[in-house]
Structure 1
């Protein structure tokens, strides 16, 4: 029975494999639609528009080659592609359905595009290679042939280049995967192959069971019966033996026969499988946008998938800078207050290895995305990275800015969120949020006045005229560096030295994006300066800790000045609201120290 079951499984496997292979060989039709062009661009850049890219679907594979200095291909929104090129010359490659061939024409510079007046005034372009730009939704760069899988629509374009100085590569192939005409053929082949392996296992199991059942058997303890004498003459052995019958007819080589059968079926399974186009990596899948009724405007500065790629790049650079204490490297992705604190930390740790490093910048998981809705520059994005599975990693809020098309995104504010930070409802990430101008009069306080107002609360406490504007019930920064702390510091040095506290605006510009309740999330910078001077003749002020390390001096007869940078993120309610301004997160650190 076991052999019958095994043979039955093999038969079913053979039938399924036969059906699947027959369909693939004779009824499947073409797997791809491919169009190729061999042109000779006369400019460093070549663009293929969305109309050509979507001739046969929205997921083409674009392959470029032919340039000796490398081949680059990337895709993004058409406006972003043209903005990156700016006033530089480029060629446009299109496909003429009437002539059934590709046509190369001179591209129209963005500065002459009346449909995008906001993008015509661009700064001087210094970067010449498009490789690595944060504008691209996907890209590939190779010495010989570069292939990028895409997922796009007619609003997107492809940019092709070499190194930005040589002419763009002219060998272009666009391939569109086609839906299978026999969608169940692959399933038949896979199931048939699996059944073939199952049949092999059943066959070997049956063979083993049969051999074990034919082993020696133990006889009883009684006397052996007398052996009957044979009266017949022995038959001569024949050189040709007849085929054995019954279960004992299974020769030892049967397992090799079964193995060979399974091998043949497996080879047939692999060899008859059709050519499959390379699959786009998981991160290339574009989240489907869900339109929000009643919200219209310009597109978001970045998509969620695009932001994930950008943060991966930034995290890699900052992590490398953290390990090598390279402030120049971190400056390629951090600016303003975020860079100041990190650069000072590097300088201190180079002298004192015992000083802890700043928290690492994680790239995921991204739990909050708030891009600016804009088609122009600068562009701003707020994001929150929170790893709920690892409580040792702080939840971090990032305020990022891209100043021009050929600049990449930089983090200007990097704050650790308060434990109970509550953010009002914001527009969906696929819609984007409106920019709040620094001098906006529609908020409880304008962003450019927020830093000074909060600084006044830290300095004066309840005596500050702005004290009533802020909700301080869950504000942990006030308890650390507020008026109570400052009074205690002054009292601890009374009679030996004088302590003065002053403030100045941070190097970062106020940045804000609107929430759906007409409020805003605003980030600002604030510097607090602590000046200590001796009060007795001949006395000196001793420096300790990080201030001593950063300043390079151990004492000063005239006094010392230490500057602490504060990066602050707030929710600011709209004008007329009964709510108060809330501190969402902050980061503070020593950024300068010197003797007077």
Structure 2
């Protein structure tokens, strides 16, 4: 009967293990779902709608195939459409049945740069990919995002586009089936061994019987009488080393040896079976087992609720870091080549004006005109404008790994969807300055109008107020509005002016030379971004003009000790005088109207802009 149950156990083990294998092979469904996007009319650009990307849940894998260079970028749908507004493109969306369809979208506006705009390198994209012949991009795009597929903006975009999403292919009963099958196999082996053992014990020991007796003759007692037996003499039983062992001891040793041999045979069969069970149990992944995870209650976290009409931030933190890296690389190359045209692709306003002068000085004298570095190692602050239109502005604070280089605060602006961000104001942070509370990068902030009356001083008047502080000192009507750092900076500028006057007097030319100073706001508009305390960070630039002119016809203004004047004018003296212009870029934290705080100086930077001979 044990053999019958062993066979049943073997059959059951085969069925269970086979069912487990079938679950992991034959009966397992596909691991992914695919969607081949239909090709439309040949166009330089293909825009894949976010609805297509989210047709199925999970990570989206985009496969683009075609000969040559391939380009894929993703970003906000509104930004993508704005960038494509002056070009025809294929738009792939979903119809009512959930199937992809392609249609051609006509240009909404006339292109200013003509056809063939290369999408590579645009600051508008959140991220982009470039490969040859075949491109695979793993995406996880939320609502409001789309994907752009192109080549170089001139050639037709590739038409072989495939989207895939992973499918959850769990087989929760494969693991238990493997384990149950292994246990049934182990039980069958045990029953089989017990059956063999019982069969052998039931038959008993088999011994060889005696052979045939030899032939005998009759015994004649008269002829050969039986010998008489001698009496048995009593003697001592031998003991000690020469004595024989008890007769039952060899039998006991034999039984123990046979028992140990049978135990080893059982272990030799049982251990592989147990090992097979362990291998089958541990070889299954978590997807092969039922999941009985307890439901975890969510931990409450503070929630920041954005207004209903809140617009998206101009850039994300990762996007801002990538843009900064591109700007830093371009500016470093322009600095090395002293190429103002190249610098103009990433700089604008007062920053470009100062850089252009630095290049001119460096071309005349290598020791002069060393541009201020733009650190891009650590991004400390990203404050983007929340807007869906253009121009767009972002404020950033960055640091270098070299502690000797001061942190730099700057604003950069994107003029339109096709332009890259350019830095317009940039200054070195003051050691004691502390930024006011700012909105998080994912929320963004608003751009404060130049004539806003909600601030202590309107942004359009901040530059004039600081100029008055420098020129008039304590007599300035704005003296009480600025903090100590701003007053100290104004005093330092006044001290440098006094040093120039003293230098001329020391040369005995005070009676034949007239010096005038004048600080005025520059022609560049201020940039103001709101803070959380209803104030604003305002960046302005001012122009400080120093005029040195002779008071008598015989007097001559010499440029001794002024290499910048010699380099920029190409002369060593002037009979009518010289006018030197300095540019200053400043960042202020301006409090709200009615606040008790003062206007705080955050950053300051000064450059020489030009030296002109008066004619």
Which one has a bigger Cα radius of gyration? 2
Which residue is equivalent to 1:383?
396
Cα deviation, residue 417, structure 1: 0.6
Which residue is equivalent to 2:346?
333
- Secondary structure of 1:489's counterpart equals helix
- Secondary structure of 2:465's counterpart equals helix
- Secondary structure of 1:166's counterpart equals coil
Does 2:366 correspond to 1:353? yes
Which residue is equivalent to 1:527?
543
Counterpart CA distance in 1 for 2:306 and 2:158 is 44
1:151-174 CA distance string (max 9 Å, x none)? 311210111223223332211122
**Higher mean C-alpha displacement, 328-337 vs 549-558:** 549-558
Which residue is equivalent to 2:211?
none
Counterpart CA distance in 2 for 1:29 and 1:350 is 70
Does 2:178 correspond to 1:165? no
- Does structure 1 retain, via aligned residues, the 8 Å contact 2:514–2:549? yes
From 410, 414, 435, the equivalent of 1:402 is 414
- Does structure 2 retain, via aligned residues, the 8 Å contact 1:560–1:594? yes
Counterpart CA distance in 1 for 2:348 and 2:574 is 32
Alignment map for 1:6-405 (pairs within 5 Å): 30-37=30-37, 39-57=39-57, 59-66=59-66, 70-96=69-95, 98=97, 102-107=100-105, 124=112, 128-177=117-166, 181=170, 292-293=304-305, 295-296=307-308, 297-355=310-368, 357-387=370-400, 389-405=401-417
Cα deviation, residue 181, structure 1: 4.3
Counterpart CA distance in 2 for 1:93 and 1:290 is 39
Cα deviation, residue 180, structure 1: 7.2
Unaligned runs of 5+ in 2: 1-20, 175-282, 284-300, 505-509
Counterpart CA distance in 1 for 2:140 and 2:366 is 48
- Does structure 2 retain, via aligned residues, the 8 Å contact 1:308–1:364? no
Which residue is equivalent to 1:411?
423
Which residue is equivalent to 1:502?
518
Cα 1:557–1:322 change in 2 (3 A) is: same
Counterpart CA distance in 2 for 1:64 and 1:177 is 18
Cα 1:397–1:31 change in 2 (3 A) is: farther
- Does structure 2 retain, via aligned residues, the 8 Å contact 1:64–1:72? no
- Does structure 2 retain, via aligned residues, the 8 Å contact 1:73–1:147? no
1:224-267 CA distance string (max 9 Å, x none)? xxxxxxxxxxxxxxxxxxxxxxxxxxxxxxxxxxxxxxxxxxxx
- Secondary structure of 1:47's counterpart equals strand
Cα deviation, residue 106, structure 1: 2.7
Cα 1:163–1:123 change in 2 (3 A) is: closer
Cα deviation, residue 178, structure 1: 5.0
Does 2:557 correspond to 1:541? yes
Which residue is equivalent to 1:490?
501
Counterpart CA distance in 2 for 1:180 and 1:586 is 61
Cα 1:65–1:294 change in 2 (3 A) is: closer
Count of aligned pairs between the two proteins: 461
Which residue is equivalent to 2:263?
none
- Secondary structure of 1:66's counterpart equals strand
- Secondary structure of 1:407's counterpart equals coil
Counterpart CA distance in 1 for 2:23 and 2:488 is 69
Counterpart CA distance in 2 for 1:477 and 1:179 is 65
Which residue is equivalent to 2:465?
453
Counterpart CA distance in 2 for 1:330 and 1:61 is 38
**Higher mean C-alpha displacement, 290-299 vs 526-535:** 290-299
From 583, 587, 605, the equivalent of 1:565 is 583
Cα deviation, residue 177, structure 1: 4.4
Cα 1:91–1:151 change in 2 (3 A) is: same
TM-score of the aligned structures, taking structure 1 as reference length: 0.71
Which residue is equivalent to 2:610?
592
Counterpart CA distance in 2 for 1:71 and 1:379 is 29
Which residue is equivalent to 1:583?
601
Unaligned runs of 5+ in 1: 1-20, 112-121, 186-268, 270-288
- Does structure 2 retain, via aligned residues, the 8 Å contact 1:359–1:394? no
